[in-house]
Chains A and B, each alone.
Chain A
Amino acid sequence: MRPYTFAQPRSVREALRGAGPDTAFLAGGTTLVDLMKLEVVTPERVVDINRLPLDGITLDHKGLHIGALERMSDVAADRRVRENYPMVAQALELSASAQLRNMASIGGNLLQRTRCGYFRDVSTPCNKREPGSGCSALEGINRGHAVLGTSDDCIASHPSDLAVPLVALSTVVHLASARGTRSVPLDTFYTLPGATPEVENVLRPNELITGITVPRSPWAAHSLYVKVRDRQSYEFALTSAAVALGMRGRTITSARVAAGGVGTRPWRLTAVERALTGRPATAATFEAAVVRAADGAQPREHNAFKPALLRRTLVRALTELQESR
């Protein structure tokens, strides 16, 4: 790790004072410290935000509010989250390890960087790490990479499990900067790589995530997160699916569906949602609804299996959710 200056402010205002492009905000540190050791990120100034008053989990008529500094383990264990938003708790528990979940924050989880091996290897070109240097993954080892939302400059997949159900549930992110506060839907918070893969979201250099709100919805309680991966635990998703269904009798009245492991950002599947809505919750409906789930996918040499695996993962998630009623 390169040397840096270190500050431990106690208020958001203090934290944002003097923050610039060379400042890194440190919460759990599980991504930042790892990348600093590899010298993938080399901030001159590290601002430890753990003393800021950005904690707390509350549930009211608007929805679930989670402070940015809440730890993954605490959110996953929260009874209100487990009962009203089961797929959020499931996605958290299927992420990382117990020690990491004890450290990692919700805000940090949403901002975690890709696990693309080339991004983490400073000896190889990577447009995300060093704009304009090229993308090693295009012709390199790309089994874990994205097939949706990719560009000629970057095919890195988004690593967060949590973001997948949050995007499905139209979660809103609350941001604060010296200029004030604003709220952004999580779905538009993330940007596509396009020609600027170094930009991953709409966060400004001196802006902090202060918390999120997951809107209240009757269907969120009937939801499931399924993660398909190479081994049973501590593994990033090859594909994942977050599904929530509102039901009247056997009819689907509303559907929320998103996919992970396949996109350069968490991938909401509104066409699948539409194809499910108003139909009976049967195998035939599920199979028909996912046919076009991976439309537009651009597989590379090693990840050609992902579109088909995504469709199977969605069907499995819908089927298991339906069977669990």
Chain B
Amino acid sequence: MRIDGTEATAEPRPGQCLRTYLREQGATAVKKGCDAGDCGACTVLLDGAPVQSCLVPAHRAADAEVVTAAGLGRFGPGGDPDADPEALHPVQRAFVEAAAFQCGFCTAGLVCTVAGTPPPVGELKGNLCRCTGYRSIRDALAGRVNTEVAEPGQAFGRAVVAPAAARVVSGREAYTLDEPAPPGLLHVAVLGSPHPHARIIRIDATAARRAPGVHLVLTHHDVPDTLYSTARHENRLDDPDDTRMLDPVLRFVGQRVAVAVAETPRQARAALALVDVEYETLPAVFDPEAARQPGAPLIHPGRTPDEHRVADASRNVVAQLHEEYAEPGHGGVDAALAASAATVEGTWTTDRVNHVALETHGARAWLSPGPSAGAEQPVLHVRTSTQVPFLVRDELARLLDLPEERVRVVAGRVGGGFGGKQELLVEDVVALAALRTGRPVQWELSREQQFTMVPCRHPMRIGVRAGADADGHLTALAIDVLADTGAYGNHAPGVLFHGVHESMAVYRAPNKRVDAESVYTNNVPSGAFRGYGLGQVQFAIEGAIDELAARLGIDPVEMRRRNVIRPGDPFVVGRPVDGDLEYGSYGLDQCLDLVEEALAREPSPVEPPPAVEPVETWLHGEWSVGTGVALAMIATIPPRGHFTHARVTVGADGDFVVDVGTAEFGNGTTTVHAQIAATELGVPVDRVRVRSSDTATAGYDTGAFGSAGSVVAGLAVQRAAQSLKTTLDSLSAGHLSGRTDAIAQIASTQLAGVWAEATHDGSPRSVAFNVHGFRVAVHRGTGEVRILRSVHAADAGVVINPEQLRGQIDGGVGQALGSAMTERMVVRDGVVVTRTLRHYRMPQLSDVPVTEVLFADTVDRLGPRGAKSMSEAPYNPVAPALANAIADATGVRPRDLPIQRDRLWELLGATSDR
């Protein structure tokens, strides 16, 4: 076999697929995303044709010519074998210039598919991308250039190329498991619980420990008996301590029962079959309403508010909020509703959805000599796919009883997160196994485990009561939220409190009430996911507001204008909010105007999705057309402190190095931080190198969540760069003054090693806004929904990188359309049935329309150079806007997500033939 022009001589092992073989030969441009031929991340050219290498037995390719993304420039179609080894293929250049990637984990496979497919490339059915919403990929296919080169000092506000672009599109950027395997690497396999609720009566690992290749088997007898939460926050007391590394009580199907560590993954799995376990099954409960009723099986009995931060274990309630507020002179929600000109009361539900980051959770741990030569105590290294390296370090140190300086956690480029990697899910196992065996240890979750073990989005049931006077002014707004947190309470309080927070606060109403509970069940745990609860609650509130507008005969956009908060208004949830939330800038009014205007005019000349023929050829007869909008507000930073540290140093080569602890998982912070530093220093952006997410080289950072990467770490980078510039200006005064490139000059000559640093504590916080609008056509006969127009307006303050911001919005819209229309983790009696991507139905290129993205013009007085955060926010208004458009088209309001075709068909009363 020739791999990228080089002869590979190693004999494939029996049963080895081509992807594994290629990666073992060092061809790590080939990624593993699903192992089932669904995602396309492992696509290579096999004798010129794109194939998914996970489904090709390595033997079959024995005489073949294999080209990966790393060799595409030289050995791909039209390539030049004599070119520079790092030469890009034209398709790869198009992806760079269109900024057609975010985390980039899917990109190496995508470019192989495109390069190997004769044009027109079509729908790209065999490649999934979770970050981009596919718009920028369409642009790359069409050869559009979305990026630009900025003059020195002018990078802020420009669509500069991500620094890692060339490495990402050629598969050279190293993700978590792409570094060469350290010698002696051992592999982990974990036995999952077959029962939704059971107690381990007896567990015997004797035979498993004697199995071939096995180095270690862990049961609950062998691990620290320390309670913790897999959720990671700045303050570890935000989450309940209800989890053990290995627990004799099993609370969901798939929960860890035992861990085997062996020379190969197969040997580790084989050992698990020899673990002898006797279970006592316990009564289980899967419905959160049933779980909080008297007599329900108790899932964490005995846990207390004070010690474990579980609100009411006797009702399975892990977190709750019950508040009512009436402005002076008002008599409360019930009285106000009774006196309102129009009222709405209804229940909305959202389902369980999965992050589907293309890179599954995975980590490696190993021990190395301590910082000083001859030190007795080795340092535990953990390379992991995480959004929160410092929080992982801190909790590992606590769990394993190690001083923090003996734990080093490093995240390289992370292949997508969306909140799913704000958890400690695999690092504890590899760390403990490395300590016990003294060998490097790796655990890579399978795609199936991503569905059965990794926390998903909290499903919620939201009751809304709302009233308005005849002029459409809200008189009362009350919500009753029930969240299913599953077997563990990781992120349960945070998601619940955040979910009801900005969603309630964005509307003015003199009477408000919030009842909210997050409840344990024996389902797979829920956790953090883009929007952090807001998307669910917003879906309900925006549906109710729309319905109220319809009852009153008021235009839905106008209805919102009359009721949204404006600068100076207090933030009121179930009572006025104390704290550090401010109107750093306000652009909600502009967002509403922008979407309304855009929906009223003809579409901009964007390319229609290829699957949809011109409207006039099909839009007649049973098709109904409607328009819908929805809005959302989000705080720009998580509450109660988000800390960061940045250092900018003059490098030996005259470049500038930014060290910052936050992680890059496709959110674009390395680009943005380079832009900020280059602008402050007055240098070209490619003179700045960002090194992130290494707890040994960067100062403390709370992590990449809560949309904090640009505005928290970004502000620290800005301050550090300003400080360094002041220093350099003073040092250069005298002999370089008057030169426009003074800093660049001085840096390249004399001052290597000069540095400056700064911190930020994440306070005060601002608010950002998003409004989405859809026009849809609904086919009454078959329940098919086609999106005719999709418009999104965002108030992100001053835009740092318009193409990246647009990409984040496209991606948020795409992800939201998945959970609005097709995605659903089907769970029955605690068993996740949808365990493959093919059954789970995340959107593909042809499922996502092109969205027209518009920006409000505001300058935030709190963020770096007037910027606000955005990454989570675009998700939140999408599902309600879609439901509102369908309601406008059909007169029937979908209240349950996802709005699957058969559900809508039933709602429309079309199940019987006409």
Task: Tell me, yes or no, whether A binds B.
Answer: yes
Chain A interface residues toward B at CB < 8 A: 1-6, 8, 26, 29-30, 33-34, 36-37, 46, 48, 50, 73, 96-100, 102-103, 115, 117, 120-121, 123-124, 140-141, 143, 228, 230-236, 238, 304-305, 308-309, 311-312, 316
Given A6-B14, A231-B844, decide whether A102 and B913 contact each other with a Cβ distance below 8 A: no
Set B50, B56, B841, B912: member contacting A98, Cβ < 8 A = B50
Set A29, A232, A238, A304: member contacting B844, Cβ < 8 A = A232
Given A30-B37, A231-B843, A235-B841, decide whether A46 and B126 contact each other with a Cβ distance below 8 A: no
Q: Establish whether residues B900 and A3, one from each chain, have CB atoms under 8 Å apart when the complex forms.
A: no
Set B37, B59, B123, B782: member contacting A34, Cβ < 8 A = B37
Residues of the B chain whose Cβ atoms lie less than 8 Å from the Cβ of A228: 782
Q: Establish whether residues A98 and B60, one from each chain, have CB atoms under 8 Å apart when the complex forms.
A: no
Q: Establish whether residues B37 and A140, one from each chain, have CB atoms under 8 Å apart when the complex forms.
A: no
User: Which 5 residue pairs are nearest across A and B when measured between Cβ atoms?
Assistant: A97-B126, A1-B15, A97-B125, A234-B125, A232-B846
Q: Establish whether residues A26 and B60, one from each chain, have CB atoms under 8 Å apart when the complex forms.
A: yes
Complex Cα gap A316–B618 (Å): 12
18 more contacts with CB within 8 A, not counting A97-B40, A233-B125, A316-B782, are A1-B15, A26-B60, A29-B55, A34-B36, A37-B35, A37-B36, A97-B126, A98-B125, A99-B43, A100-B55, A115-B839, A117-B836, A123-B194, A233-B847, A234-B838, A305-B902, A305-B905, A309-B782
Q: Establish whether residues A29 and B60, one from each chain, have CB atoms under 8 Å apart when the complex forms.
A: yes
Residues of the A chain whose Cβ atoms lie less than 8 Å from the Cβ of B117: 98
Residues of the B chain whose Cβ atoms lie less than 8 Å from the Cβ of A33: 17, 54-57
Q: Establish whether residues B14 and A3, one from each chain, have CB atoms under 8 Å apart when the complex forms.
A: yes
Chain A, residue nearest B843 (CB): A231
Set A100, A124, A233, A238: member contacting B611, Cβ < 8 A = A233
Complex Cα gap A237–B906 (Å): 19
Residues of the A chain whose Cβ atoms lie less than 8 Å from the Cβ of B782: 228, 309, 312, 316
Residues of the A chain whose Cβ atoms lie less than 8 Å from the Cβ of B902: 143, 238, 305, 309
Chain B, residue nearest A7 (CB): B59
Give B34-67 as 1s and 0s: 1 = Cβ < 8 Å from A's Cβ atoms.
0111001001000001111011110110000000
Set B40, B51, B60, B124: member contacting A50, Cβ < 8 A = B60
Q: Establish whether residues A117 and B57, one from each chain, have CB atoms under 8 Å apart when the complex forms.
A: no
Chain B, residue nearest A303 (CB): B902
Query: How close is A15's CB to chain B, nearest CB, in angstroms?
Result: 15
Q: Does B822 contact A (CB under 8 A)?
A: yes
Q: DSSP majority for the A interface?
A: loop
Q: Establish whether residues B841 and A6, one from each chain, have CB atoms under 8 Å apart when the complex forms.
A: no
Chain A, residue nearest B781 (CB): A312
Q: Establish whether residues A30 and B55, one from each chain, have CB atoms under 8 Å apart when the complex forms.
A: yes
Q: Establish whether residues A312 and B125, one from each chain, have CB atoms under 8 Å apart when the complex forms.
A: no
Q: Establish whether residues A230 and B37, one from each chain, have CB atoms under 8 Å apart when the complex forms.
A: no
Residues of the B chain whose Cβ atoms lie less than 8 Å from the Cβ of A235: 841
Residues of the B chain whose Cβ atoms lie less than 8 Å from the Cβ of A230: 822, 841, 900-901
Given A1-B15, A232-B611, decide whether A141 and B828 contact each other with a Cβ distance below 8 A: yes
A–B pairs, 12, beta carbons within 8 Å? A3-B15, A4-B14, A33-B54, A37-B17, A98-B125, A99-B40, A99-B52, A141-B833, A231-B844, A232-B847, A233-B847, A309-B902
Residues of the A chain whose Cβ atoms lie less than 8 Å from the Cβ of B57: 6, 26, 29, 33, 46, 48
Query: How close is A32's CB to chain B, nearest CB, in angstroms?
Result: 9
Q: Does B748 contact A (CB under 8 A)?
A: no
Complex Cα gap A316–B781 (Å): 10
Give B805-837 as 1s and 0s: 1 = Cβ < 8 Å from A's Cβ atoms.
000000000000000011000101001011110
Q: Establish whether residues B15 and A234, one from each chain, have CB atoms under 8 Å apart when the complex forms.
A: no
Given A103-B56, A312-B781, decide whether A36 and B15 contact each other with a Cβ distance below 8 A: yes
Complex Cα gap A231–B782 (Å): 13
Given A3-B14, A98-B50, decide whether A234 and B126 contact each other with a Cβ distance below 8 A: yes
Q: Which of A73, A228, A308 has the most CB of B within 10 A?
A: A308
Given A103-B56, A140-B833, decide whether A233 and B123 contact each other with a Cβ distance below 8 A: yes
Complex Cα gap A228–B35 (Å): 27
Set B14, B127, B844: member contacting A5, Cβ < 8 A = B14
Set A1, A37, A103: member contacting B52, Cβ < 8 A = A103
Q: Establish whether residues B834 and A117, one from each chain, have CB atoms under 8 Å apart when the complex forms.
A: yes
Give B767-781 as 1s and 0s: 1 = Cβ < 8 Å from A's Cβ atoms.
000000000000001
Given A228-B782, A308-B912, decide whether A234 and B844 contact each other with a Cβ distance below 8 A: yes
Residues of the A chain whose Cβ atoms lie less than 8 Å from the Cβ of B835: 117, 121
Q: Establish whether residues B913 and A231, one from each chain, have CB atoms under 8 Å apart when the complex forms.
A: no
Q: Does B911 contact A (CB under 8 A)?
A: yes
Residues of the A chain whose Cβ atoms lie less than 8 Å from the Cβ of B845: 233
Q: Establish whether residues A2 and B15, one from each chain, have CB atoms under 8 Å apart when the complex forms.
A: yes
Chain A, residue nearest B846 (CB): A232
Q: Establish whether residues B15 and A100, one from each chain, have CB atoms under 8 Å apart when the complex forms.
A: no
Given A99-B40, A230-B841, A312-B782, decide whether A141 and B826 contact each other with a Cβ distance below 8 A: yes
Q: Does B122 contact A (CB under 8 A)?
A: yes
Residues of the B chain whose Cβ atoms lie less than 8 Å from the Cβ of A100: 37, 52, 55, 126
Q: Which of A5, A96, A230, A236 has the most CB of B within 10 A?
A: A230
Q: Establish whether residues B125 and A96, one from each chain, have CB atoms under 8 Å apart when the complex forms.
A: yes
Residues of the B chain whose Cβ atoms lie less than 8 Å from the Cβ of A233: 123, 125, 611, 844-847
Q: Establish whether residues B51 and A99, one from each chain, have CB atoms under 8 Å apart when the complex forms.
A: yes
Residues of the B chain whose Cβ atoms lie less than 8 Å from the Cβ of A29: 55-57, 60
Q: Which of A1, A30, A231, A236 has the most CB of B within 10 A?
A: A231
Set A48, A102, A121, A140: member contacting B50, Cβ < 8 A = A102
Q: Does B644 contact A (CB under 8 A)?
A: no
Residues of the A chain whose Cβ atoms lie less than 8 Å from the Cβ of B521: none
Chain B, residue nearest A8 (CB): B59
Complex Cα gap A316–B54 (Å): 38
Residues of the A chain whose Cβ atoms lie less than 8 Å from the Cβ of B707: none
Chain A, residue nearest B837 (CB): A234
Complex Cα gap A311–B126 (Å): 30
Complex Cα gap A305–B125 (Å): 27
Residues of the A chain whose Cβ atoms lie less than 8 Å from the Cβ of B822: 230-231
Complex Cα gap A102–B126 (Å): 11
Chain A, residue nearest B58 (CB): A6
Complex Cα gap A1–B56 (Å): 12
Residues of the A chain whose Cβ atoms lie less than 8 Å from the Cβ of B123: 232-233
Q: Establish whether residues A4 and B833, one from each chain, have CB atoms under 8 Å apart when the complex forms.
A: no
Complex Cα gap A97–B51 (Å): 10
Complex Cα gap A197–B514 (Å): 53
Q: Establish whether residues A140 and B828, one from each chain, have CB atoms under 8 Å apart when the complex forms.
A: yes
Chain B, residue nearest A35 (CB): B36
Complex Cα gap A99–B112 (Å): 10
Complex Cα gap A97–B123 (Å): 9
Chain A, residue nearest B35 (CB): A37
Complex Cα gap A312–B913 (Å): 8
Chain A, residue nearest B826 (CB): A141
Q: Establish whether residues A117 and B833, one from each chain, have CB atoms under 8 Å apart when the complex forms.
A: yes
Chain B, residue nearest A98 (CB): B126
Complex Cα gap A228–B782 (Å): 9
Residues of the A chain whose Cβ atoms lie less than 8 Å from the Cβ of B781: 312
Q: Does B503 contact A (CB under 8 A)?
A: no
Residues of the B chain whose Cβ atoms lie less than 8 Å from the Cβ of A120: 836
Complex Cα gap A305–B843 (Å): 23
Q: Establish whether residues B826 and A6, one from each chain, have CB atoms under 8 Å apart when the complex forms.
A: no
Residues of the B chain whose Cβ atoms lie less than 8 Å from the Cβ of A309: 782, 902, 905
B1-57, CB < 8 A from A: 13-17, 35-37, 40, 43, 49-52, 54-57
Q: Establish whether residues A99 and B113, one from each chain, have CB atoms under 8 Å apart when the complex forms.
A: yes
Chain A, residue nearest B17 (CB): A33
Chain A, residue nearest B901 (CB): A230
